[in-house]
Each structure stands twice: as C-alpha cells, then as structure tokens.
Amino acid sequence: MAKLYFKYGTMGSSKTAQALITKFNYEERDMKVLLLKPAIDTREGESVVRSRIGLSAPCIMVSADRDLYRLYLDEHRDIDVIIVDECQFLTPEQVDQLGYVSMECDIPVLCFGLATDFLTHLFPGSRRLFEIAESVTEIKSVCRCGAKATVNARFDEQGHVVFQGSQILIGGNDRYEAMCRKCWLRKKKEQEESGIQ
C-alpha cells in the first residue's frame, strides 16, 4: 500500500537535494517519476527544481488552482511515484488530492518542504500534511551555535531579522537562515533593545 510522505526541514537542510536524489533512485530502477513544484516558487526559473549543491531536474509547475488528482488521472497515469518540492506552498485541498492519489491509485507521494514560516507559524499545506500524511520525517539542520535549527529566520536588506510581514516571501540564502529558537529569540531581544523593529 502506497503512502503520503512528508519530509520537512528548515531552510538549507537539503530538502531539495534529497528530493532529487530520491527521484534519481527511482529512475535508476526504471520507474517513472512525476516531479512537481508549486508555481509560486520561481527562484530557479520555470519548470526546474534545483538544489544549492547543483543538482537539478525538470519539473511540472502547478498553480494553486490545479487539481493534482486530476493531473495524475488525466495526464500521468503511467508514472510510478510523485515527488513534490516546496510542498509548503500547496493548498490544503491539493494535499488532500495527493492523499487520494496515494490511497486510491496506490502511488507513493513524497512531499519535501518547510513546516513553518519565518514567524514559526505552519504553512497551510504543511499543516495539512502533518494532519494526513502516513509518514512524517524531519530533515535536521544546525544553527550557527551548533544547536538544532528549527526557525527559518528572515532577514531584511540591512541584515536585521524580520518579525513581521507576509507569510510568503520567496528567497534563499540571501533572505533566510536556519536558526535555533534560542538564537532567534536572542536576536529579537537584541534588536528590540537597540530600537530595531
């Protein structure tokens, strides 16, 4: 019986690299992979998934209104597995649709992404994955202090940690750094004491 998998971690924890390695492992066994990425994430350009270590592969970009169950049934019934990068940007409905693919069509679905935003709030897609995925695995990362990183700290152009703003701001190492909660809160306190909001 196929499962819906959620593999989550902070920024820089090698989620995309692991998604691409997983894709390679399936293809090495002559299995067909459907690689998806939400269309909102255009950092690496259209229709490509690229990791920081240089791995890349073509993908299908899916808009928030795309029915992923129908995408599988109508266009990709010949595939053996679905892999989704940046799954935090899926809608809860799309996560449910992927759950139907795994349950009703016996196709494994592996979702890789963030759990929380820069304020430690769950993304809607990630929340739904925590609720319904049959397998949930954390991909661990480390803060500069050596502790486990759990926060996706967002920085402004001056290098200050940001504690307000919209949930989604597409960016990479230029805008985000994985930190432990203790360092994140310490940075917040230091900035407040210095009058930096």
**Amino acid (one-letter) located at 56:** S
Cα 145-142-87 angle, rounded to 5 deg: 145
| Pairing label, strands 151-155, 176-179 | antiparallel
**Annotated catalytic residue within 46, 86, 104, 192:** 86
Q: DSSP secondary structure string, the chain? A: ---EEEEEE-TTSSHHHHHHHHHHHHHHTT--EEEEEETT--TT-TTEEE-TTS-EEE-EEE-TT--HHHHHHHH-TT-SEEEEESGGGS-HHHHHHHHHHHHHH---EEEEE-SB-TTSPBPHHHHHHHHH-SEEEEE--B-TTSSBP-EEEEE-TTSPEE--S-S----STTTEEEE-HHHHHHHHHHHHHTT--
86 is catalytic: yes
Q: Which residues are catalytic?
A: 86
